[in-house]
Chain A
Amino acid sequence: MATTIQMRWMYRVALWLWIAATGFLSPPTFAYDGQGQLQAGTKISYDESCLEAIDYDGVAVLASNECRNQPANTRTLFINFAKCLAAEESAGVAGEVAQTGGRAPNFIVSEGGTAFPVPEGATGPFPVTSGKGFQYIGGSGGNGLSTSATDFRFMDPVTTGTYQYPGGYGSYGNAAGQTINPFTGAANITPSNPWWHIPAK
């Protein structure tokens, strides 16, 4: 019986064969819904309906947004492959989160598959005193983020009160501890701005 690792490689090989056969994708790049291409090595998450790029460069963000408006690719092979990769990436992140004060991963993936890039060179994770979140600090930009983005924190789900985030949320800060739009670096956003608390699934 094939092991999990063997299964993952089988899915990989099968996907690339499918890619080569259909011409839908052409190595070494990933494509999505025929709308464009992502760089090879782009990490992905999958939520049963939508493939999301993780490294959040401009193309990846576009891919994620467009994906929301496109019919999901429901082919079994594709789904299994996406699940495998998502599981690998999530497990990798969880492993790094267990270490405090180390070098940050390139991204954080929520339980539901939402990906958040972490500022390059940041360290952490540093848990919040309440135990309901953690943050990475002292980085700068990278992964499509503004160079003003130095900190990233991810908070647990909020399921009571007026402002609820059932999947948790992420938030970016600058070196002065002010919340910013992670892609423009602007600190003039208000708490009602969607970039302030970015909902996770």
Chain B
Amino acid sequence: MNSNDPEKSLLTLLEGREMAAVTFLRAYVQLLFDGPYLNAYTMPQVKLNDTVFHPKTPGYRDALCEQIGKTVTATREELNKKLEIQFGDGTSIEISLKDEDRVCAEAAMLQADAGKRWNVW
């Protein structure tokens, strides 16, 4: 995890948890981690070995759903750049925090403890 304010990053909550489900909604996706869930309003990309799956890449949805059941081994937050969720097999999911990639004021929102702990990027 790499953040300007590490104590405030909630992403570390995902470490050690399995990605339980992916919900595709209109214009965004919701990643569920057995409790906490991460709404990615900026569509995430999946990095699988040397291949990067963008939302318009054929196989993108498969690549995203293939992460279901995998355990998060590390998270990384780079201010105004990206959020990264890494899995044990080297695959990662990245959400861009760059202004040019945003489709609204928010790129992502993480909620834990039924919304008592949450963050928006």
Identify the A interface with B (CB < 8 A): 101, 126, 128-130, 132-133, 135, 137-138, 151, 155, 158, 161-165, 169, 176-179, 187-192, 196-197
Q: List B residues 97-112 near A (Cβ within 8 Å).
A: 99-100, 102-106, 111
A163 touches B105 (CB 8 A): yes
A-B contact pairs, 18 of them (CB 8 A): A126-B117, A128-B119, A128-B120, A129-B8, A129-B119, A130-B120, A138-B115, A161-B99, A162-B102, A163-B102, A164-B105, A177-B115, A178-B30, A187-B25, A190-B26, A191-B106, A197-B105, A197-B106
Q: How far is the CB of B24 from chain A (nearest CB, A)?
A: 11
Write out the residue numbers on chain B whose beta carbons fall within 8 Å of the beta carbon of A196.
Answer: 104
Would you call B30 and A163 a contact (CB within 8 A)? no
CB pair A191–B114 under 8 Å, yes or no, is no
CA distance A155 to B120 in the complex (A): 9
Inter-chain contact B118/A129, CB cutoff 8 Å: yes
Asked if B115 and A188 make an inter-chain contact with CB atoms under 8 angstroms apart, the answer reads no
Complex CA gap A158/B118 in Å reads: 18
